[in-house]
Structure 1
């Protein structure tokens, strides 16, 4: 598992429109909320994505971007986003490389078949690219609001540091 305080592993993944997204794109500009979820249209994952979308204004005011990652392909993400009116950017990790970097994969057996599944997890990365929070095995209900509080605190700390530096 990743621990807070390290530089968050960089990556590049396609979003629902097939546009590449890198974590480093946001370095120095935004706080990044990176959440990993099982699959599009799963009831818990849908709830989580909708809650993050419902709080989009709060995240924007805290200078944060929310990125959702699953193993689904971009076309599945596009349908999921459009069906539920989602405002979060959904990224496709079809080769599991990023999920492995963030230690969010586990083997799961169903009907005698072993498959890889994502552990519902959320990471908060500060402006400098440092991992500030690593939350594994989260519950979808209310999670987006809890993460927003963490992001607002980081944003306030960064503003205080800017004020102190300008004195």
Structure 2
């Protein structure tokens, strides 16, 4: 299911920092990069999220914010962020409701797939990529930055 060209499904989720984050609160201000990933502390995720976090200055320069989303609790997110130096907001979608809205929930495994959604300042999905296998990580930060610059 492609959401490209459609309004991004709105949501509010608890973040690793303790506050609730609402997607629509970024509307008119920043492009949002939604990074859905399966599990904190898993090998591929522990490469992907630190890589995105390490480029957050580049994303900020491009007018974008990165939000990591998965089913782990804010407590797991905090521990993982501390251990791996992850500074982007990590959101707890513990019942996979948001992953379902975006078509990336893998209900039989209780996780979300690995996916990137680019939501422009108007709240419209401009790009999406869902990995064929959760162990794949093919869309690197540079590719997403290039897409943002095309908007």
TM-score in terms of structure 2 length:
0.92
CA distance in 2, matches of 1:39, 1:152: 29
Higher Rg of the two aligned structures: 1
Cα RMSD (Å): 1.4
Corresponding residue pairs, total: 148
Partner of residue 128 from structure 1, selected from 106, 122, 130: 122
Q: Is the 8 A contact 2:38 2:114 kept in 1?
A: yes
CA distance in 2, matches of 1:9, 1:152: 23
Partner of residue 150 from structure 2, selected from 150, 153, 159: 153
- 1:7-62 per-residue CA deviation (whole Å, 9 max, x = no partner) reads 00000000012210010110000000001001101110011101101111110100
Q: Which has the higher helix share?
A: 1
Q: Residues 89-108 of structure 1: matches in 2 within 5 Å?
A: 89-107=89-107
Correspondence 1:87 to 2:105: no
CA distance in 1, matches of 2:126, 2:13: 21
CA distance in 1, matches of 2:61, 2:150: 12
SS at match of 1:43: coil
Q: Is the 8 A contact 1:67 1:91 kept in 2?
A: yes
- 1:62-107 per-residue CA deviation (whole Å, 9 max, x = no partner) reads 0100000010000000011111111211000001110110011124
CA distance in 2, matches of 1:116, 1:95: 8
**Can you give the 5+ residue segments of structure 2 that lack an aligned partner in the other structure?**
none
CA distance in 2, matches of 1:39, 1:106: 12
Cα drift, residue 142 of structure 1: 5.6
**Equivalence for 1:157:** none
Q: Is the 8 A contact 1:34 1:68 kept in 2?
A: yes
TM-score in terms of structure 1 length:
0.84
